[in-house]
Amino acid sequence: MSLKIYNTMSGKKERFEPLQPNSVTMYVCGPTVYNLAHIGNARPVVVFDTLYRLLQCHYDEVTYARNITDVDDKIIAAAREGSRSIESVTEEFTQKYREDMAQLNALPPTIEPHATHNIAPMIALTEKLLAKGHAYVSEGHVLFAVESMPDYGKLSGRSLDDMLAGARVEVADYKRHPGDFVLWKPAADEDPGWDSPWGRGRPGWHLECSAMIREHLGETIDIHGGGRDLIFPHHENEVAQSRCAHGGDYVRYWMHNAYLDIDGEKMSKSLGNFRTVRELLQSYRGEVLRFALLSAHYRSPLNFSAELLEQAEATLGSLYSTLRQVEDIPLDMEVQLAGEPFYEALNDDLNTPLAIAEIHALAKQLHKAPEDEKPALKGRILAAGNLLGILEQHPQDWLQGDLDSSDITAEEIEQAIADRQAAKAAKDYAKADEIRQDLLARGIVLEDSREGTKWKRA
């Protein structure tokens, strides 16, 4: 079954064919590590982690790179504000980023290149652009000359004049054209910097990804991903640097996820609706956040709200309850993905909402299926969950959850269930119902079945 993805460059859905027959290279823009990741930062992580899982079903070798920007004006400002070293800031927030993304069931990337470890390739790329007449030196800066590239703006689909009208561009006397962007800039004595042919300085933000992609993945890669906010100027400038320096396609397929709003409004600190992943993890499990992020198609805007999270929690609870009913049933065969509706959905431009709907359909079948059909249905649900990065916990662990903050222990719950069974045996149904209601008031739901009574958190 072929994979189709929407290519931002062409503006249409295309059949995916990697440059090498059984090997895929994918690069996704990672964090600038000066603060905690917010939930908007998590959307591309979850989206491209799902794509990474899907690609591994198709190809023997998938190399997934996600960079760490560890030199930037925001990092320098954060270090000054906290009277800390640059290294302590970047090390802290790199580690916290990894921890938070792992909580969302995101697999670690194959490669995690750091900007500060790749300065030499950035200098080499800058030198090549200068030699080819696509860059110039001015007042200690090296700038890319946008007018030197005839089709600059092709990725975002706008002319240079249109882009300048709608973008925040730095107006500086040292620029020949307002749209020219910095490849290398001088560094103050107290700021991080590296020796270069143009003096001590540091790279411009756009330069990093172009240089690291060539260094670690090659001249042309298969997939480059990120949020829509990166199309211009960041990815547009990547295209300019790489194509003008080396020729070729640079990237065969560009993929961009849409924006995320908080309660119908753009997330911003000024509005007070800024939500970090770490903050949300205090109230919701990481799988709930992941499920919520996958509930809309990646190219559609997503309104992130308490209602969405509660719905995600309830849906996962229902699916885990279904799996608990068959937890003792062994899986008797490997699932053949070809022809599976959930697999077809994901291969059609990563249609996660449809894939989730197909899991619901399988769960409904499982409830009604004869015993001999249940192993196959269980396997299909778990296979779909594995591709989406959900339903990978033991059902009992998920449903009973963490009782550390509860006023009742697992032992007390089991004793209450035993007391209820004894009351029912004595035909004291009022007492049995009282025990059920008392547990419910304390956040514990009982589920009766032929196999006995099980419990879960409400």
Kindly state the tokens that stand for 372: 């001999």
Kindly state the tokens that stand for 227: 């949020």
* Residue 29, marked binder: yes
Number of residues that this document lists for the chain = 458
Sign of CA dihedral 260, 91, 242, 150: positive
> Phi then psi for 148, rounded to 5 degrees?
-80, -10
* Residue 57, marked binder: no
Q: What is the 3-state secondary structure (H, E, C) of the chain?
A: CCCEEEECCCCEEEECCCCECCEEEEEECCCECCCCCEHHHHHHHHHHHHHHHHHHHHCCEEEEEECEECCCHHHHHHHHHCCCCHHHHHHHHHHHHHHHHHHCCCCCCCECCEHHHCHHHHHHHHHHHHHCCCEEEECCEEEECHHHCCCCCCCCCCCHHHHHHHCCCCCCCCCCCCCCEEEEEECCCCCCCECCCCCCEEECHHHHHHHHHHHHCCCCEEEEEEEHHHHHHHHHHHHHHHHHHHCCCCEEEEEEECCEEECCEECCCCCCCCCEHHHHCCCCCHHHHHHHHHCCCCCCCEEECHHHHHHHHHHHHHHHHHHHHCCCCCCCCCCCCCCCHHHHHHHECCCHHHHHHHHHHHHHHHHHCCHHHHHHHHHHHHHHHHHHCCCCCCHHHHHHCCCCCCCCCHHHHHHHHHHHHHHHHCCCHHHHHHHHHHHHHCCEEEEEECCEEEEEEC
Using alpha carbons, list the distances in angstroms from residue 99 to 32, 40, 85, 174.
Answer: 15, 16, 22, 42
* Residue 134, marked binder: no
In 10 A of CB 422, how many CB atoms? 13
Which residues participate in the annotated binding site for ATP? 269
Could you list the residues known to form a binding site for Zn(2+), using ranges: 29, 209, 234, 238
* Residues flagged as binding site: 29, 209, 234, 238, 269
